[in-house]
């Protein structure tokens, strides 16, 4: 059962703590709804220090919703390369077009209108509405979920069902105030810096005197540790073909696939012999191959899958690629949206000369995420 803590007292303690302790992050220096939206999308499942340079480059290049709606999709995906969860970029493009078409280029103020946009969940809508427009809307991400569950002693699973409902209800009560943006960010920041999943720093917490989990010594059991689903093991063969030492064959992935809209080495699931895999991956495009050899192996962990990747180098192929296939100059690779797993495969399998020519972006972000 949730304990009744007076909301005004909690709000005051949270906002005062946030005012004194908040990190100076680029998106906190603006209330531009578009900038808030970009930051919230990039921050999903991605670390703050990884997001900062991507956020700054993105806003410099596409400073408004209109600019993003007019952008070349491939340019946006290229700018997103390395951030992972590429569907976020595709959703942003679709949402930008819809905002221009239906809302005159301005993000709507209301949560109800925001959640109808592609890629907007309840959290993103609440964050934009409260931070950019001062609307009294809750915004519950993983940090807020955990923090509120502990403060109010909400037992059981808080990711769905009654537990989730209880958390959102408490968040809505707290956000029903004069500074909902600060209140929501205070909860997000407290969860990120103090009320962390393991070993929360309760002695530094501004609400510890009101916290059920702290009072009962149950910080590590609220919320209960999540049982992670076992990752699916996938065998993948990637086919590397370099023409004249300077052009690489890449294939644009279907929009609704794992690497939606991104450029990857032609690839095939399943354990086949190298020649069979190369043949199978390219035959559907009418390619004739002159020879195939094994080039490298690597493993990659995505959100739900563990990939065992074998890269084979094939020789041949037509002078002109068509359909989803394209010969891309090694020097021009940075202009294309290429997932991290493909970049790793290229680093592993290109020859030193080819690697020297290839403009492969530095992927600094770590962690398990698609790409
Ligand atoms: S007292 Fe501890 S468990 Fe409670 S909200 Fe603060 S950091 Fe989290």
For the chain, the residue count is: 371
For residues 240 and 247, give the distance between their C-alpha atoms in angstroms, rounded to a whole number.
11
Distance 217 CA to ligand 1 centre (A): 10
pLDDT of the chain, 371 residues: tens digit per residue: 445 668 999 999 999 999 999 999 999 999 999 999 999 999 998 899 999 999 999 999 999 999 999 999 989 998 998 887 788 999 999 999 999 999 999 999 999 999 999 999 999 999 999 999 999 999 999 999 999 999 999 999 999 999 999 999 999 999 999 999 999 999 999 999 999 999 999 999 999 999 999 999 999 999 998 877 788 898 889 999 998 889 999 999 888 777 888 999 998 887 777 778 777 777 767 777 778 888 999 999 887 889 999 999 988 766 667 778 899 999 999 889 899 899 999 999 999 999 999 998 655 443 333 33
Using CB distances shorter than 6 Å, the residues near ligand 1 are 147, 150-151, 194-195, 200, 202, 205, 207-208, 211, 213-214, 219
For residues 286 and 115, give the distance between their C-alpha atoms in angstroms, rounded to a whole number.
44
The answer for residues whose C-beta is within 8 angstroms of residue 329's C-beta and 6 or more apart is 246, 247, 248
Which of 360, 314, 318, 328 lies closest to 251 in space, CA to CA?
A: 328
Ligand 1 pocket mutation, candidates 2, 146, 150, criterion most atoms within 8 A of CB: 150
Residue 339, both tokens? 């997932």
Helices 122-133 and 161-175, packing angle to 10 deg: 10
232-357 matches 7-216 in CATH topology:
no
* Cα separation values, 196 from 156, 176, 208, 282, 352, Å: 18, 25, 14, 48, 44
In the residue annotation, 40 being an active-site residue is answered as yes
Three-state SS for 291? strand
Q: What angle do CA 117, 120, 124 make, to 5 degrees?
A: 135
Count other C-beta atoms under 10 Å from residue 314's C-beta: 25
Q: What is the dihedral of CA 65, 67, 73, 79, to 10 degrees?
A: -90
Q: Which CATH number does 232-357 carry?
A: 3.90.79.10
* Cα-trace Rg, the chain: 24
131 within 8 A of 31, measured Cβ to Cβ: yes
- Domain-wise residue ranges, the chain: 7-216, 232-357
The answer for residues whose C-beta is within 8 angstroms of residue 232's C-beta and 6 or more apart is 304, 305, 306
CATH class of 7-216: mainly alpha
Which of 144, 149, 134 lies closest to 14 in space, CA to CA?
A: 144
For residues 370 and 125, give the distance between their C-alpha atoms in angstroms, rounded to a whole number.
24
- Ligand 1 atom nearest to 202, measured from its CA: 2
81 within 8 A of 338, measured Cβ to Cβ: yes
Ligand 1 pocket mutation, candidates 18, 171, 214, criterion most atoms within 8 A of CB: 214
Distance 219 CA to ligand 1 centre (A): 7
- Would residue 298 be called left, alpha or beta, if left means φ above 0 and alpha means ψ between -120 and 50 degrees? beta
Q: How many CA atoms lie within 13 Å of 144's alpha carbon, on the beta-carbon side? A: 24
Helices 87-103 and 33-43, packing angle to 10 deg: 160
E strand or H helix that includes residue 61:
helix 48-61
* Cα separation values, 160 from 153, 157, 174, 344, Å: 16, 7, 20, 36
């Amino acid at each position: 059962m949730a304990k009744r803590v007076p909301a005004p007292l909690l709000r005051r303690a949270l906002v005062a703590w946030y005012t004194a302790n908040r990190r100076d992050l680029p998106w906190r220096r603006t209330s531009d709804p578009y900038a808030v939206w970009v930051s919230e999308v990039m921050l999903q499942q991605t670390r703050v220090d990884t997001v900062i340079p991507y956020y700054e480059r993105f806003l410099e290049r596409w400073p408004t919703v209109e600019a993003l709606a007019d952008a070349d999709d491939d340019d946006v995906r290229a700018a997103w390369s390395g951030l992972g969860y590429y569907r976020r970029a595709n959703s942003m493009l679709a949402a930008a077009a819809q905002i221009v078409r239906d809302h005159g280029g301005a993000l709507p103020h209301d949560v109800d209108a925001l959640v109808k946009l592609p890629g907007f969940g309840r959290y993103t809508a609440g964050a934009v509405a409260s931070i950019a427009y001062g609307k009294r809307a809750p915004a519950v991400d993983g940090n807020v979920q955990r923090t509120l569950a502990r403060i109010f002693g909400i037992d059981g699973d808080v990711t769905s069902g009654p537990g989730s409902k209880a958390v959102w209800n408490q968040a809505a009560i707290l956000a029903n105030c004069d500074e909902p943006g600060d209140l929501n960010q205070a909860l997000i920041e407290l969860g990120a810096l103090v009320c962390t999943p393991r070993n929360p720093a309760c002695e530094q917490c501004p609400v510890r005197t009101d916290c059920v989990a702290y009072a009962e010594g149950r910080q590590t059991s609220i919320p209960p540790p999540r049982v992670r689903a076992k990752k699916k093991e996938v065998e993948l063969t990637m086919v590397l073909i370099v023409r004249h030492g300077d052009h690489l064959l890449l294939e644009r992935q279907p929009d609704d696939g794992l690497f939606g809209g991104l450029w990857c080495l032609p690839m095939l699931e399943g354990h086949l012999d190298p020649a069979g895999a190369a043949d199978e991956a390219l035959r559907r495009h009418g390619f004739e191959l002159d020879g195939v050899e094994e080039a490298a192996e690597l493993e990659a962990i995505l959100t739900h899958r563990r990939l065992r990747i074998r890269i084979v180098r094939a020789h041949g192929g037509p002078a002109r690629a068509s359909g989803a296939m394209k010969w891309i100059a090694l020097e021009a690779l940075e202009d294309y949206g290429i997932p991290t797993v493909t970049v790793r495969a290229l680093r592993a399998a290109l020859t030193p000369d080819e690697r020297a020519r290839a403009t492969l972006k530095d992927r600094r972000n770590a962690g398990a995420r698609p790409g």
